[in-house]
Amino acid sequence: MSTPLPDIEKVLKQHKLSLGDYDHIKKILGREPNLVEIGIFSAMWSEHCSYKSSKKHLSGFPTKAPWVIQGPGENAGVIDIGGGYAAVFKMESHNHPSFIEPYQGAATGVGGIMRDVFTMGARPIANLNALRFGNVLNQDDISAHQRYLVRGVVSGIGGYGNCMGVPTIGGETSFDECYNGNILVNAFTLGLAKSDEIFYGRAEGIGNPVIYVGSKTGRDGLGGAVMSSDSFTEASKGLRPTVQVGDPFTEKLLLEACLELFKTDYVVGIQDMGAAGLTSSSFEMAGRAGSGMIMHLDKVPAREQGMQPYEFMLSESQERMLICAKKGTEQAIIDIFEKWDLDCAVIGEVTATGKMELFWHGEKCAEVPVDPVSEEAPVLDRPMSRPAYLDEIANVKLSDFEAVDNQSAFEKLIASMEVVDKGWIYQQYDSMVQTNTVKKGGELDASVIRIKENGVALAMSADCNVRYCFIDPKAGAAAAVIESGRNVAMSGATPKAITDCLNYGNPENPEVMWQFAQGCLGIKEACAELNTPVIGGNVSLYNETNGKSVFPTPSIAMVGVNDDQNNVLLSTFQNEGNVVYIVGENRSEFGGSLYMKELYNVVAGTIPTIDYTKERALWNLVIEANKKGLLEAAKDCSSGGAAIALAKMACVSGKGIGATMNVNDPRDIFAESMSRAIIEVAPENCAAFEAMVGSLDCQKIGTIGGDTFSFNDVTMRLPEMQNIYYNTFKKVIEGDL
Amino acid sequence: MKVGIIQFPGTNCEYDTQHAFASLGCETEILWHKNDAIPQGCDLVVVAGGFSYGDYLRSGAIAKMSPIMKALKVYANNGGKVLGICNGFQVLTETGLLPGALKRNEGLHFISRHHHLKVVNNENDFLRHCSIDQVVNIPIAHHDGNFYIDSEELQELYANNQVLLKYTDASGNIDNPNGSVDSIAGICNKAKNVFGLMPHPERAIEALLGSNDGKAMLEGFISA
């Protein structure tokens, strides 16, 4: 089994292992590793699988609440949503593959996150995504390439999700030059399960069979986990073969077959084969239960002849699952998968040895103790330093720049890529299949589905203001949690828990590592203050090209529960004659604002003040007033401030408004103070609503009606504004077709 | 009233369709595509939407080879009522139970949104509760919804009152999202027992989800 490897240094380099790692491996094995074993350690100790740079900072997240059924550590997190049902959800990145090959990269990202959810026993019922692209506006090669990436990514997400019959109900897309060389594609899936029928990724019970189901294994995605644990250079273009190819049809069959299997009591544990394929699924399943495992790799269904054990262990072919079943149920399981025309093979069994023993045509080809591979994985304490740029930008103020009149500023902001409607994107996603979608992409703020089984509605929102994260990595991450929670609360739902997807640059850069650590602190603080635990997540590092790291981008997806699905609060104007309020304190806060970015091309200043007490009070006000039936609509104020929030509500509803807000500086209508919302109330409910506002600031600013948008000194005719709002995105993205 | 709903590998609207008909008080049964007979007592068979066989080769082209399609042809030829929605419409044109074909959308994108439709003919079971020129709001979600038919067959469709629905705006003016010939969204066969449309009436039976205009359409199949 153990043939010493010639030219060990070259082998280690190819596998991104150090000589220190090699000595450690020899110590664990008590001998020289062979190539299969090197491959296993390389994958399991990659940044992607081992979280070696991030682990130190990930401890201490608030993960518990009475409604949390499963926190981090499983394939996805689980919360109780009442009536015996649970929501299972998670968000993951597929950044590197999507940059190299946008359609397949994004498609397999969606496929992977859906498997993470249905492997827990839940039918996926909603998808969201958070996308970050570079500058798409210019007539140069960079922008042309970015537009190509937008088209490919959106098409890939739609191609996979639509075929699966899972509605993609919302998301967030933003643009900044910092993503020119490294786009971010974060995909979120939420599934529904009975709360006492959750399945876990465990292989236990000596002699129980280990069963492989799904697609055949090919040579695609070999080394994908290792690839995504590195930065980009020119040479990365040659990595296309490491990107997996998705087959949503097979995944749909796998989903239906697994759900049919879950109705039986045959399953002990199940896990999808994601990054590092058969290696990570088998080691993690055995590891969680403290078991050993035997696998016969020659029994794994293969797509092509001549494949070797190394390739079987490291392939990242999609649409595959590993099942540990009760002994004696093998044939019944095979029957289910055969019904759905899927491969299914018993490839091994659970042992008591604590070792992973791999065989090839009867001969042992690898033997690795299970626990040390995960438990002794390197944990790095990478050096950190506060980035120098922070001091340079902290004192930049609006008054440093030449003033722009509000009308011109508004015309610039309403046409910016961050503000305009993304119908070109969300209309390519089937948002209504499964007949649960109450509020979807384009309807502003959180997306909402109803649950037929228990009468509740689930609201969800993915958010991150990356400019805030750049100027203040800690408060910016906290702000992402706050904004996602506020969006959820605006629908009348109580925010319950988050999943995060932490996209950062190169951890070997001490300044990036500092940003990451600060981001974790921000999330911990906000989640604790808002009582919304973290129930799962994903870390994506090395988002860097040619030495330039992306802005810190901790995408947060919040999920909330509204007990009455017939009382979902919408975010656009409902009726002419209704009164519009702004609740919350309006300050002249412009740090990291869309205003400064669009008008002065600056991302600088001090982040708007965070006040958790006021934030919670705002949520409670909206949730409680909605329960009493006092509200017609609510929308949060975020990028672009009150002016852009009102303008979006007017565009989407097709209703005009005349509004006036008290300001210290005329430009405050674009300021981005937190903990604010625009709220629509019918005249007969105004007194009752005002009585509930308590200590929060509240201004009646106008009345809905007419065909003009008018707010302080800004005016625009509605048809003109809608034309800009609805047609800009397509013009830009399809400009070169 | 009993409704059978065909499930191919890759079908994904079978449970939505089941939910819709069940909420209208119908008995429903999911029919696995490997069955070679339509169960006794089915008053309507729905070929539901989705991506049968992943839409590989061509939408509906592989599904038409499934055993149940032979049985469905016999059922339809004996006067049994059949409704194809979205991918089901594609399957019915592929099998020849309905004329025409469905090509890739003119804009090449998948299109998912609520869309208005105008009722063109109502002398049939499907639209008998709707009035002519009535505008309904029904979701569409398709990549291959571009209805094509040659001019001779098109004349026949009109002559026999087989054109059922056209894509319009809210005021009933033609608004064609996908390049379909004459903006046609739904048709039936000459005998008026086989119906096909790209929009999803089963997604429009509750105001909570944005529209309940599909309810009257599906109720047309339920005898008074």
What is the per-residue pLDDT across A89-115, written as a single tens digit (0 to 9) for each? 999 999 999 999 999 999 999 999 999
Residue B25 domain flag: yes
Give the residue, A47 or A432, on which the prediction is more confident. A432
Query: Is A436 in CB contact (< 8 Å) with chain B?
Result: yes
CA distance B150 to B155: 9
Task: Decide if B21 is inside a domain.
Answer: yes
Q: Which two tokens stand for residue A717?
A: 């005719």
Contact A489, A560 (CB under 8 A): yes
State residue A221's pLDDT score.
72
Q: Which of B105, B109, B215 is the best substitution to test chain A (most A C-beta atoms within 10 A)?
A: B109
Of the residues B12, B17, B114, the best mutation for testing chain A's interface (the one with the most A CB atoms within 10 Å of its CB) is B12
What is the residue-averaged pLDDT of chain A? 95
Give me the mean pLDDT over the A443-451 stretch.
98
Note the pLDDT tens digit of each residue in A174-196.
Answer: 999 999 999 999 999 999 999 99
Of B112, B205, B210, the CB nearest to A430: B112
Give the per-residue pLDDT at A244: 79
Q: Taking 60 as the threshold, does the pLDDT of residue A240 lie above it?
A: no
The answer as to whether B139 is a domain residue is yes
Residues of chain B neighbouring A564 (CB-CB closer than 8 A): none
Q: Of A248, A249, A438, which is closest to B209 when you measure between CB atoms?
A: A438
- Structural contact between residues A607 and A479, judged by C-beta atoms closer than 8 angstroms: yes
Dist CA A94 CA A147 (whole Å): 18
**Residue pair A287/A371 in contact by the 8 Å Cβ criterion:** yes
A433 to chain B: which residues are within 8 Å by CB?
12-13, 16, 49, 141, 203
Of A215, A426, A432, which to mutate for an interface test with B (greatest number of B Cβ within 10 Å)? A432
What burial letters (b/e) apply to A328-347, b meaning 16+ CB within 10 Å? ebbeebbebbeebebbbbbb
Residue B54 lies in a domain: yes
Q: What is the mean pLDDT of residues B159-184?
A: 98
Q: What share of chain B is helix, strand, coil (3-state, %, to 5)?
A: 25, 30, 45
For residue B208, the model assigns a pLDDT of 96
By the 8 A CB rule, do A133 and A150 touch? yes
**Cβ contact B208–A164 (<8 Å):** no
| Residue B202 annotated to the active site | yes
Contact A388, A325 (CB under 8 A): no
Could you write out the three-class secondary structure of A389-406?
HHHHHHCCCHHHCCCCCH
User: What are the pLDDT digits (tens) for A373-386?
Assistant: 988 888 999 999 99
CB A507 within 8 A of CB A501: no
CB contact under 8 A, B111 and A427: yes
**Can you read off the two tokens belonging to residue B156?**
């026949």
**What is the average pLDDT score of chain B?**
97
- Where residue A1 falls among pLDDT bands split at 50, 70, 90? low
Question: Residue A737 has what pLDDT?
Answer: 83
Q: How many domains does the structure of chain B reveal?
A: 1
**Mean of pLDDT values over B13-21:** 98
Q: Which residue has the higher pLDDT, B209 or A242?
A: B209
- Probe site for chain A from B11, B110, B198, B206 (most A CB atoms < 10 A): B110
Q: What's the CA gap between A355 and A363, in Å, rounded?
A: 16
User: Annotated catalytic sites of A, by residue?
Assistant: 48, 94
Task: Identify all chain A residues contacting B50, using CB atoms and an 8 Å cutoff.
Answer: 165
Q: With respect to residue B202, please indicate whether it lies within any of the assigned structural domains.
A: yes
Distances (CA, A) of B34 to B27, B47, B71, B89, B163: 21, 14, 11, 19, 32
**Counts for chain A of helices (H) and strands (E), in that order:** 25, 28
Handedness of CA B32, B35, B38, B41 (dihedral sign): negative
Q: Which CATH number is B127's domain given?
A: 3.40.50.880
Of B10, B111, B112, Cβ closest to residue A252: B10
Q: Which of A516, A555, A637 is nearest to A129 (CA)?
A: A555
What mean pLDDT is predicted for residues A214-231?
75
What pLDDT does A3 receive?
66
pLDDT value, residue A220: 79
Q: What percent of chain A has pLDDT over 70?
A: 97
Average pLDDT over residues A75-83: 97
B175-207 b/e (C-beta count within 10 Å ≥ 16 → b): bbbbbbbebbbbbbbeebbbbbbbbbbbbbbbe
Average pLDDT for A499-512: 97
Give a yes or no: residue B95 inside a domain. Answer: yes
Which structural domain range is residue B113 located in? 2-219
Query: Chain A window 565-584: which residues touch B at a Cβ cutoff of 8 Å?
Result: 565-566
B129 in Cβ contact with B188 (< 8 Å): no
| Within-domain flag for B224 | no
Nearest chain B Cα distance for residue A73, angstroms: 31
Tens digits of residue pLDDT in A571-587: 999 999 999 999 999 99
**What ipTM is given for this predicted complex?**
0.97
CB–CB contact B16 A164 (8 Å): no
pLDDT for position B224: 53
Q: Please list every residue in chain A whose beta carbon sits closer than 8 Å to the beta carbon of residue B113.
A: 423, 427
Interface of A with B in 298-357 (CB under 8 A): 340-341
Q: Is A290 helix (H, G, I), strand (E, B) or coil?
A: coil
The tens digit of pLDDT for each residue in A288-300 reads 999 999 999 999 9
Q: Is A655 on the interface with B (CB under 8 A)?
A: no
Name the residue type at position B89. Answer: F
A45 contacts: CB under 8 Å, gap ≥ 6: A17, A21, A52, A373, A377, A378
User: Minimum mean pLDDT among A14-23, A402-411, B69-78: which range?
Assistant: A14-23
**Residue contact B202–A253, C-beta within 8 A:** no
Contact between chains at B208 and A165 (C-beta distance less than 8 A): no
- Interface A-B, measured as beta-carbon pairs within 8 A, has a size of 89
Q: Which of B13, B33, B188, B202 is catalytic?
A: B202
Residue tagged active-site, from B13, B26, B86, B188: B86
The answer to whether B16 contacts A435, with C-beta atoms less than 8 Å apart, is yes
The model's confidence at residue A603, banded by pLDDT at 50, 70 and 90, is very high
Tokens (6 digits) for A647: 């303008």
Residues 177-216, chain B: which have Cβ within 8 Å of A? 200, 202-203, 205-206, 208-210
- What is the spatial distance between Cα A722 and Cα A650, in angstroms, rounded to a whole number? 9
Q: Is the pLDDT of residue B223 over 90?
A: no
Which of A162, A247, A340 comes nearest B9 by C-beta?
A: A340
- The answer to the question of residue B39 being in a domain is yes
What is the Cα–Cα distance from A656 to A634, expressed in whole angstroms?
Answer: 16
Q: How confident is the model at residue A235, as a pLDDT?
A: 61
Mean of pLDDT values over A336-341: 96
Look at residue A229 in the predicted model and tell me its pLDDT: 62
